[in-house]
Amino acid sequence: MNEEFVSRIELLQRKFKKREISIIRPDSEFPELLVTVPDDWKTIQLAPLYDVHIGSGEQDAELFAKHLEWLSRTQNVLTWNGGDMCENATKYSPGASAICQKGTPNQQLFDAAKLLAPIQHKMLFAIPGNHEDRTFNEAGLDGAAQLAEHLRLPYFPDYCFCTIKWRGNNFRLCAHHGSGAAQTPGAQRNAARKDMPWSHFDLFWTGHLHQPMGDIVYQTDFDQSTGRIFERDAAVLISPSYVRYFGSYAAKKRMVPGGRGLSVAVLNEDGRIDVSMHARGKRI
Ligand SMILES: [Fe+2]
């Protein structure tokens, strides 16, 4: 009976599976991350989790559970926490989200760690969303940073610039939670492209708007060793959320409803990026 106390988080950490990839965070003023994927992977599927909103009264927990199971059993898939993993509503949050949320933000954080522990070895990094910013702005408490500690993930407070090295390629990803409140298709597209004028990436990936979007932008680059030009198109993505619309703050405010779930980008050996999104529903 004289056993040392072991935290619930430590018990989860003991069950983490071994990573197949290597993740290096260089000492840098930039939010850089270098990921190397084994060359015996045939393709790489990127399937990030944005706007899961664990604890939201309107969360589609069934769909999230289904996708977690897919992430767990699918080979060659990588993911990251794109922010708003938890509802984290406070008494200063808009609408009735604090009253209608399930569990306290503290409980939501543990639930998130528990749900994500089985896929921890497939996670690359974590960034916060505006829901994590609520407690950070009010009290300096950043749930996304805490969750990243629990899951032993590199954490970045805004952007993550991640280079994925695999089969001679360097796929460059610019990930951010997203910002603003764009409601029209054009404004959402502009929001998704917001980082393009000052940076050079192959994938620009945000969430936040709860409006899935996939946009391919023609780009060129130069081979520094030969001085020759080549095509290097960008995939600009907004991930959907796991929040239902009707009954939500978004419906009350007549924000546009958006699809739910995951968007996936497949990285191919020849450098091509295939984007897959899902238009759900029956066609009766
Ligand atoms: Fe969100």
Which tens digit of pLDDT belongs to each residue from 212-242?
A: 999 999 999 999 999 999 999 999 999 999 9
Extract the runs of DSSP E, i.e. beta strands, from 157-199: 160-166, 169-175
| Average per-residue pLDDT for the chain | 96
Q: 19 C-alpha vs ligand 1 centroid, how far in Å?
A: 28
Which tens digit of pLDDT belongs to each residue from 148-166?
A: 999 999 999 999 999 999 9
Q: 235 C-alpha vs ligand 1 centroid, how far in Å?
A: 21
Q: 129 C-alpha vs ligand 1 centroid, how far in Å?
A: 7
Mean local confidence (pLDDT), 201-215: 97
Which tens digit of pLDDT belongs to each residue from 253-284?
A: 999 999 999 999 999 999 999 999 999 899 99
Q: What is the DSSP letter of 111?
A: H
pTM of this structure: 0.96
Tokens encoding 67? 């996708």
SS3 119: helix
Is the predicted pLDDT of residue 192 greater than 70, yes or no?
yes
Q: 68 C-alpha vs ligand 1 centroid, how far in Å?
A: 18
Instruction: Return the pLDDT at 265.
Output: 98
d(Cα 104, Cα 147) in Å, to the nearest integer?
15
Instruction: Return the pLDDT at 8.
Output: 97
Is the predicted pLDDT of residue 186 greater than 90, yes or no?
yes
Is the predicted pLDDT of residue 96 greater than 90, yes or no?
no
Residue 157's contacts (CB-CB under 8 Å, 6 or more residues apart) are 127, 128, 142, 145
Is the predicted pLDDT of residue 1 greater than 80, yes or no?
no
Give the H or E element holding residue 36. strand 32-36
Q: 73 C-alpha vs ligand 1 centroid, how far in Å?
A: 26
pLDDT band with cut points at 50, 70 and 90 for residue 95: confident
Q: 87 C-alpha vs ligand 1 centroid, how far in Å?
A: 8
Which tens digit of pLDDT belongs to each residue from 45-85?
A: 999 999 999 999 999 999 999 999 999 999 999 999 999 99
d(Cα 172, Cα 32) in Å, to the nearest integer?
10
Determine what percent of the chain is predicted with pLDDT higher than 70. Answer: 99
Is the predicted pLDDT of residue 142 greater than 90, yes or no?
yes
Q: 6 C-alpha vs ligand 1 centroid, how far in Å?
A: 33
d(Cα 146, Cα 148) in Å, to the nearest integer?
5
Q: 118 C-alpha vs ligand 1 centroid, how far in Å?
A: 23
Give the H or E element holding residue 161. strand 160-166
pLDDT band with cut points at 50, 70 and 90 for residue 3: confident
Instruction: Return the pLDDT at 94.
Output: 86
